[in-house]
Structures are given as C-alpha cells and as structure tokens.
Amino acid sequence: MTTKTDLDSIVDSAREAFAQAATPAELENAKAQYTGKAGRITELMKGMAALSVDEKKTRGAAINSAKQAIEAALNERRQALADAELEIQLKAEALDVTLPGRVREPGGLHPVSITIERIEQIFASMGFDVTDGPEIESDWHSFTSLNNPPNHPARSMQDTFYVDINGDDGIPYNLRPHTSPMQVRYAHAHIKKFAQRVKAGETLPEIRVIVPGRTYRVDSDATHSPMFHQCEGLWLGENVSFKDLKVIFTDFCRKFFESDDLTLRFRPSFFPFTEPSAEIDIQFASGPLAGKWLEVAGSGQVHPQVVRNMGLDPERFIGFAFGMGADRLAMLRYGVNDLRLFFEGDVRFLRQFR
C-alpha cells in the first residue's frame, strides 16, 4: 500500500520536474507525467478500485490533496514562465527614451521660386497679368514668329535642345530658349478673348502680361546653366511709349531690390524681335555691388513684324517687351556668385533662404 510519504515524494518530484521545464511546452509534457491520462496520480486513482469504502475515503482525500499540490505547483510554474517570456519581450522592444529625437526641419521655397513670386507680385500690383507657357515649343513660336527666320544668324545666340518630334512645319520642336514665344501666344489668346467685344465696336484692351518660366540653352558655366529661368514682359496697346517701359521697369527694380538708391541705364543692343533694342543695366549707389553696372534684362519696342505675327496692325499697336533672367535677379538680390548653386540641391545652401 502506498503511504502518505509516497504521495509527498510524487509531489516533490513533480515540483522538481516543473522547475526544470524551461518552456511552456516542456512544462506541459512534465504535467502529463503526473496528472495526464497515464500520469502517476491518475494511475493511483485507478488503483483505488480495489479498496474498501473506508480506505477509499482516506486514500481518495490524500491523493486529491497531492493532486491539488501538483496543480498549484504547475500553475505557479506556468505563471513564472509567462512572466519570463514577457520580460524578454519587453527587453527586446525597449525604447531608449534618452536618444535624441530626429529633427523634422520645416521645408521652404527655392530662392528662384521666391524671386519669381516676388516678380509676379510686383508686376501684378502694376496691373500685369501673370501666365505661363509650354517649355516644348514649335520652331515658329520660338524663332520665326519673333522675326528670327530659319538660317538667320541671330539664331545662334539661342542655341537650344531639340525634341525628336517634328511640328506641323516639319521642323523639330525645341526646348524654348527664352520665354519670348509667349508674347505671340499670349497676344493670340488675348485677341481671341476680346474678339466679340472688338466686333461690337470696342477697342482691344491693352496687353500687360508677364510670363515667368524655365528656359533652355546649350550653355554651362558659373553664370550659365542649360536650364535657367526667365521672365518675359509684354505691354502692348494703342497708346504705349518707351517712357512707360522706363517708368515701370525702374519702379519694378526699386521695389524688387527694396532700394530707391539705384539707377537704370538702357544700353543699345540687338534682338531680332525688337527695334530699337536695349539691354537694361542697373547700378546701386550703396551696398556690396555699389558702382557696378549690372545687366538685368533685354528689352525693346516690339518689332512691327512681330506685332503683325500677333495678328495686330503695327500702325495702330505699339508694344514694349522685356526679358529678365530670374536666376540673375536672385543672384543679385541674395549675393550668390555661382549660378550652379541654385541647381545642386544642397540643403546647406537652400536652408539659408527659408
């Protein structure tokens, strides 16, 4: 007959087996040896069938309490293994809150974008429309419409890139070498817009527009980039004169550079699409650039042939046009001496304009 001490030793050995189980699976295997179907406690229960009623009572109670002790030990070990598991997981997923955070710096506009926005605001305040146009242009718009026909020597001033697609005229499209083609495009759109009113006897309203945008040339050094930015201006009407160009351009420069201390000079030049033509230079009276003449734009009275190509009568309509280098204006305003800095995308440079 099994004694109480035997039950005690079964409980002891169960406790030991449970303690040695290192994983939940091992623990469940150990448990099977004691309280499973063929476990030692289960076997003892089965063996009770042969006992008398009295013996069954005492024996049953003893086996039961041994079973309870084993189950308590099992639960305790289950808990301990679960705690250990959790501990490992927590350690693995630990966050070191003492690590410095990652800074998310605010973004900002590119200096050339800031410059273009500034140009737009100033001209808009002077009653100019602001628009943009296609960068892939037809030969006619980029050159011929601007009084610069095929084989004209002036074409070499604006050597650009060509696209592998021909226009209706059989000549390949180009990446526009200047924003000037928008003069003719805008004039056409303007005439169309007001056609009904003109038919009804009204006169065509003045054209006042600026067109900023990307332009392209086969050129690359510290002051030239194959892609650069220009801003075209056109002012055309029945009662516009060179004086008006001088006034608005002077006003523009003073506002743009926030200085009344600057002088403008119109230096005779040549462009096929203007006659007469002038380069516009500015000179600051003070500051780091004081005393130097700085070229900021080409300009002139729109050539009669160009006015004709716009669909207007050059005897009635006189226009003034100008083309500024937007990158150049940005360089002058911010004191940047290498154009390439604008297009390298170095955040240490760009951050300064935020």
Q: Applying CB under 6 A, which residues contact ligand DAH?
A: 178, 180, 232, 271, 274, 298-300, 321-323
Cis peptide before 172 (omega within 30 of 0): no
Q: Cα–Cα distance between 290 and 261 in angstroms, integer? A: 10
Nearer to ligand DAH, 78 or 308 (CB): 308
Rounded to the nearest whole angstrom, what is the least distance from the CB of residue 151 to ligand DAH in the complex? 19
Nearer to ligand DAH, 11 or 321 (CB): 321
Nearer to ligand DAH, 122 or 180 (CB): 180
Rounded to the nearest whole angstrom, what is the least distance from the CB of residue 271 to ligand DAH in the complex? 4
Nearer to ligand DAH, 235 or 284 (CB): 235
Nearer to ligand DAH, 39 or 160 (CB): 160
Q: Cα–Cα distance between 35 and 14 in angstroms, integer? A: 10
Rounded to the nearest whole angstrom, what is the least distance from the CB of residue 241 to ligand DAH in the complex? 15
Nearer to ligand DAH, 39 or 212 (CB): 212
Rounded to the nearest whole angstrom, what is the least distance from the CB of residue 161 to ligand DAH in the complex? 15
Rounded to the nearest whole angstrom, what is the least distance from the CB of residue 273 to ligand DAH in the complex? 6
Rounded to the nearest whole angstrom, what is the least distance from the CB of residue 340 to ligand DAH in the complex? 20
